[in-house]
Chain A
Amino acid sequence: MENITLTIDGQKVEAKKGMTVLEAAQAANIYIPTLCHHPDLEPYGGCRLCVVEIENTRGLPASCVTPATDGMVVRTCTPAVDAERRTALELLLSTHPFDCLVCDRRKVNRRCTPYDVCLRSVAVTDRCVTCPANERCELQAVVDRLGMKSCRLPRVTRPYPIDSSNPFFEIDHNRCILCARCTRTCNELTGIGAIEMAYRGFSMKVSTFGDKPLFESICKSCGECMAHCPVGAMSPKDAVWPEKEVKTTCPYCGVGCQMLLGVKDNKVVQIRGERENNVNKGGLCVKGRFGVVEFVGHTDRLTKPLVKQDDGFAETTWDSALEEIANKLSRYKPDEVAVISSAKCTNEDNYVLQKFARAALGTHNIDHCARL
């Protein structure tokens, strides 16, 4: 693709033709704040945080919807830009709990913990410490980055009930900043179209058709909307933050989505889609995102070898189970034994099992349930 050069904050920046100014800046590691933009989605130009000054262009265009052109001269922080951003952010904050965001005690990367005594008279549910997105919140990050110290607008509350009808995640409209990432995700990415931005002005909210609870809508519960929400307005019901993440492949269907297993205390606690691959590029369906944690850690998991006795199964040791099976298997002729392998197990498991059938038991009686 054709390359172009533009100047951003005095720095010469190479970009590909067709990129927006925001993309060109991001590619060159130049920070422009944004909350509604997401690389998975079409440019939207909703939050007005990404405004910039462009020479020979009137006004302050939103960089996420402005195509970069050769020779363009862009300034990302001028007094006019700052003022415009501050106003846009204040408008956003006025409908979101903001006391914590502009609290004196806040330092970059350090916020109150649940045991700190709050210095302000803020309802508990309005504090960052009680938000599931705390410290992972893009709004916090933008406020910190822009050094907001106060909000000139009064807080407008639109007390909405929390929609917790979905078994896996809930929507707290009171934390929503109306960026429309979720609704665009559900339309553009999954094509399901279960949610839309409904109503106008202060009444605007994320809503299903007919404003029904999400569970009663056409939602397929993939949780993609939640994964794209920049704040804590959509969050998993059993949020446990992992200590580490391990990249692996989804155990369900043949698409083979790449996922990150979040682990804490030797338990899988959370699943995220992995973005750097050509299969799912971060996307997951309901089974992949929400169907793994519970089955892996389920109390019904088999934990000991079992042997059948007259009155049912009894636990036994690996040594005696394997010993007994080995003895019994050795008694049969190759034609009397068969092995069933599994389309759920790994290639390595399958390879070893077919080798076992062929080389150890001497039979090609091996198959799996692929046909079914």
Chain B
Amino acid sequence: MTNSIGDITDAACILAIGTNTTEAHPIIGWRVRKAARHGTKLIIANPREIGLVRESTLWLRHRPGTDVALLMGMCRVIVEEGLFDKEFINERCENFDALKESLKNYDLDTVEKITGIPREKIAEAARIYATSRPAAIFYAMGITQHSHGTDNVFAVANLAMLTGNIGKPGAGVNPLRGQNNVQGACDMGALPNVYSGYQAIPDPAVKKKFETAWNCTLSDKPGMTVIDIFEAARKGKIKAIFCMGENPVLTEAQAKHAEEALEKLELLVVQDTFLTETARFAHYVLPGASFAEKDGTFTNTERRVQRVRKAIEPVGDSRPDWLIICQLAQKMGKKGFDFNDPSQIIEEIARLTPSYGGITYERLEKGGLQWPCPTTEHPGTSILHVATFTRGKGKFMPVEYRVSKELPDAEYPLILTTGRSLFQYHTGTMTRKVRGLNAFLGEEKVEINPQDAATLGITDGEAVRVVSRRGVVNAKAKVTDVSPVGVVYMTFHFAESPTNQLTNPALDPVSKIPEFKVCAVRVEKASTPAKKEKVAAKHR
């Protein structure tokens, strides 16, 4: 997030696109709701009738995958009606002319056709967003998990820059991160192309710095992303994987591929708190301590580094993850892993990571700190880009609307979109152990519009089969208006209904995020015989 959770209620307008906030980020959802009830204009752009629609000033029910058209259409209205922030654009941005040029393609007739939203509504949304200041944009994976996710993000940024809604309280571009420490994992350099603090692998100065600090020789070659890793493993190029606390068998798009890859490995080590679906493939399983049994920090979606504190001794013989890795490294005879306590690790992080430079456990005792926090005197940064952008000027990006990689056709007539439920978390490794949570949602439910259900003769609660070009998943149908006609919705929390065996692994070329939010499926009554051959043939 460029801004903070604390200033949500300062916004005069909130545009929430591609986020089911009250389900996936409940406490932020409450704040948004509170703001809306106290006069903040709330615009929801979502194909599904999510909880916040009830509180919204305007609900844009666009077709899945048409966000670029919608956002650029709004930009066009703002430019045409002169509602943009001239001063901000002149002083802080560049490439405005190119943006204007690209907006030619987004006349409201076209946008209406693509998105399915009446043109007046798009214009109204644009006017509300542009004239209520400050205005904040919130988005989540509904924006990023597309083969054109990067374009979506650019379009969001265009809209915010156009109206000067950057670097001010109550404004900003605010991606909501899914898992508790996605932000931190990225910050720490658990990525193939950067060290901690996003210091680039190919940069010779950076390389030198880490080689000196770690007293070793480092490779120049950026590594592979998870998706490439699994592809390489399938081809036998990657022979050994060390996997800490993840369950890729359920999270990977076209998860069958991940399973095949894991089966091929000569060595798979999985370190986790439970015997996950992925751990079953492992040659070694190492018991990690849970968050309640170790010290450390998590970084939340507003870049706030906060303490995790050990409350109890590790269960059984389990050990904190950092300790296991250090002990393994030492067994391999490697130097630089003689940490005795996480406080020593954060010291090294602070020393080598400019944005974390001022973070110490001692300071965190008084509360979390938002990075960038370069020195121990620095109070942390609650709003990014106040005076300048990271790259100097904010660059408008002309973006082209590209359709999702796989659209419905006669054989697979419905769009499948995926998301999270309030009552479960990620692959359910933790939440499915909680009986009470299972009472609320204990199995996969395929949400389907009553009209589609009627056509297919499916009743609420009936067992159905969801079939895509890549797999078949069984689940129960939930007939509901929440899903629009032509769209079905599933979560990915349940191993028995591995939704990601259906999803399309088409990647965004830049972010390498798969297209989880749109793929083509058909839904069949489970009582009818399955047309197995076709799927199996495609899969080989």
Q: A residues engaging B (CB < 8 A)?
A: 166-168, 188-191, 215, 220-222, 246-258, 261, 263, 266-268, 276-280, 283-287, 290-292, 294-298, 300-308, 313, 318, 321-326, 328-330, 332, 334-360, 362-372
Asked if B25 and A350 make an inter-chain contact with CB atoms under 8 angstroms apart, the answer reads no
Nearest B residue to A330 via CB reads B332
Asked if B192 and A366 make an inter-chain contact with CB atoms under 8 angstroms apart, the answer reads yes
Residue of B226, B240, B252 touching A329 (CB-CB under 8 A): B240
Interface size on B, residues (CB 8 A): 148
Give Cα distance in the complex from A255 to B186, angstroms. Answer: 16
In chain B, positions 308-348 with a C-beta closer than 8 Å to chain A are 308-313, 315-322, 324-329, 331-332, 334, 336-337, 339, 342, 345-346, 348
Asked if A255 and B5 make an inter-chain contact with CB atoms under 8 angstroms apart, the answer reads yes
Nearest B residue to A341 via CB reads B190
Asked if A255 and B301 make an inter-chain contact with CB atoms under 8 angstroms apart, the answer reads yes
- A99 CB, nearest partner CB in chain B, Å: 34
Most chain B CB atoms below 10 A, which of A263, A280, A302: A302
Asked if B342 and A346 make an inter-chain contact with CB atoms under 8 angstroms apart, the answer reads yes
Q: How many A-B residue pairs have CB under 8 A?
A: 463
Give Cα distance in the complex from A191 to B190, angstroms. Answer: 37
* B525 interface contact, C-beta 8 A: no
- B260 CB, nearest partner CB in chain A, Å: 16
* B300 interface contact, C-beta 8 A: yes
- B215 CB, nearest partner CB in chain A, Å: 8
- Which chain A positions have C-beta within 8 A of B6? 278-279
Asked if A360 and B316 make an inter-chain contact with CB atoms under 8 angstroms apart, the answer reads no
Asked if A322 and B304 make an inter-chain contact with CB atoms under 8 angstroms apart, the answer reads no
Q: A268-B312, A280-B27 are in contact. Are A359 and B214 (CB under 8 A)?
A: yes
- A302 CB, nearest partner CB in chain B, Å: 4
* B33 interface contact, C-beta 8 A: yes
Asked if A308 and B283 make an inter-chain contact with CB atoms under 8 angstroms apart, the answer reads yes
Asked if B328 and A369 make an inter-chain contact with CB atoms under 8 angstroms apart, the answer reads no
Give Cα distance in the complex from A355 to B195, angstroms. Answer: 9
Asked if A190 and B30 make an inter-chain contact with CB atoms under 8 angstroms apart, the answer reads yes
- A167 CB, nearest partner CB in chain B, Å: 3
Give Cα distance in the complex from A324 to B216, angstroms. Answer: 24
Give Cα distance in the complex from A22 to B504, angstroms. Answer: 59
- Which chain A positions have C-beta within 8 A of B192? 364-367
Asked if A342 and B311 make an inter-chain contact with CB atoms under 8 angstroms apart, the answer reads no
- Which chain A positions have C-beta within 8 A of B253? 372
Give me 8 A-to-B residue pairs in the complex whose CB atoms sit less than 8 angstroms apart, sorted by A's number: A279-B6, A302-B272, A330-B332, A337-B238, A338-B229, A343-B184, A346-B291, A347-B296
Q: A257-B27, A366-B191 are in contact. Are A322 and B311 (CB under 8 A)?
A: no
- B51 CB, nearest partner CB in chain A, Å: 9
- B438 CB, nearest partner CB in chain A, Å: 9
- Which chain A positions have C-beta within 8 A of B244? 339-342, 345, 349, 353
Give Cα distance in the complex from A54 to B225, angstroms. Answer: 70
- B524 CB, nearest partner CB in chain A, Å: 27
Q: List the 6 closest A-B pairs by CB distance, nearest first.
A: A303-B316, A256-B300, A346-B296, A364-B223, A167-B436, A342-B245
In chain B, positions 199-246 with a C-beta closer than 8 Å to chain A are 201, 210, 214, 216-219, 221-226, 229, 232-233, 237-246
Residue of A296, A344, A372 touching B180 (CB-CB under 8 A): A344
| Residue interface bits B257-285, CB-to-A below 8 A is 1, else 0 | 00000000011010011110000001111
